[in-house]
Amino acid sequence: MKRIAESSVRRLALYLRFLEDFTKRNTPTVSSEELANASGTTSAQVRKDLSFFGSFGKRGLGYPVAELATQLREILGIGRDWRVVIVGAGKIGAALAQYRGFRQHGFMLVAVFDNDPTRVGKRIDGVTVRDMTHFDRDLKTLKPHIAIVTTPAEAAQGVVDRITKAGIRAILNFAPTGVQVKPDVTVRNVNMALELEVLTYALLHGDDA
């Protein structure tokens, strides 16, 4: 399969959201134009994104909503019971642990870790916070697919090293720092301060089209 742009993958995940809306409203088919309007792109973009993975539509009709949603779930790997661990039970870690959207999209939170004794043992949304001491051993049993890192910046690289050593190949990093990994590991960084700075840049320099 040809290598697909990350921006395309993001849009596919977005399309899926709107297809789920359309399903709720019992809309049987949807055109590339309608999907484009909903997700803020163009119809050509929608068709091109979908065409990388096959021909899901019917000419003259559009795309069958339910069927396309199923296909997108398959492509994105949604509904496979991915096991997720969160490292860092601070404010953001705890907030994420309680985020309903994860379970709704098929992500199973199997453990939360922290090295702060005052946090270890506490229950967050049905999951007990574990001590980092047993991190490596616990990961062997839990075999998570994805790790979410919400530690302070200083601790992030060390945690990421232990995560990758345990064989985890997908990391969502909320620590406000970049981390180095081997090329077979995918890291996505979410950095609040950085997003705000992109906004202030836009305010100062006017990104209005």
Amino acid identity for residue 194 in this structure: L
Q: How far apart are CA 150 and CA 54, in angstroms?
A: 37
Which residue, 126 or 209, is less far from its own copies as judged by CB? 209
CB-based contacts of 31: which residues, under 8 Å, 6+ apart?
43, 62, 63
Q: By rule CB under 8 A, what string of x and - marks binding of each residue 29-48 to its own copies?
A: ---------xxx--------
Candidates 75, 101, 84, 97; CA nearest to 168 is: 84
23, 99, 108, 132, 159 from 119: Cα distances, Å: 42, 19, 21, 11, 17
Is 208 near its own copies (CB under 8 A)? yes
Identify what 84 binds: DNA, its own copies, none; CB under 5 to 8 Å per kind: its own copies
Classify 110 as helix, strand or coil.
strand
- Tell me the closest approach of the beta carbon of residue 115 to its own copies, in angstroms: 19
Classify 29 as helix, strand or coil.
strand
CA dihedral 169, 172, 176, 178 (to 10 degrees): 30
Q: By rule CB under 8 A, what string of x and - marks binding of each residue 161-180 to its own copies?
A: --------xxxx---xxx-x
Is 199 near its own copies (CB under 8 A)? yes
- Near its own copies by CB under 8 A: residue from 102, 108, 115, 122: 102
Is 50 near DNA (CB under 7 A)? yes
DSSP E strands, 56-160: 63-64, 82-87, 107-114, 123-124, 127-131, 146-149
Is 189 near DNA (CB under 7 A)? no
Which residue, 8 or 191, is less far from DNA as judged by CB? 8
Contact 56, 68 (CB under 8 A): yes
- Positions that interact with its own copies (CB under 8 A): 1, 3-4, 6, 9-10, 12-14, 17, 38-40, 75-78, 80, 82, 84, 91-92, 94-96, 98-99, 101-102, 104-105, 107, 145-146, 169-172, 176-178, 180, 183-184, 186, 188, 190, 192-205, 207-209
- Positions that interact with DNA (CB under 7 A): 5-8, 31-33, 41-45, 47-48, 50-51, 55-63
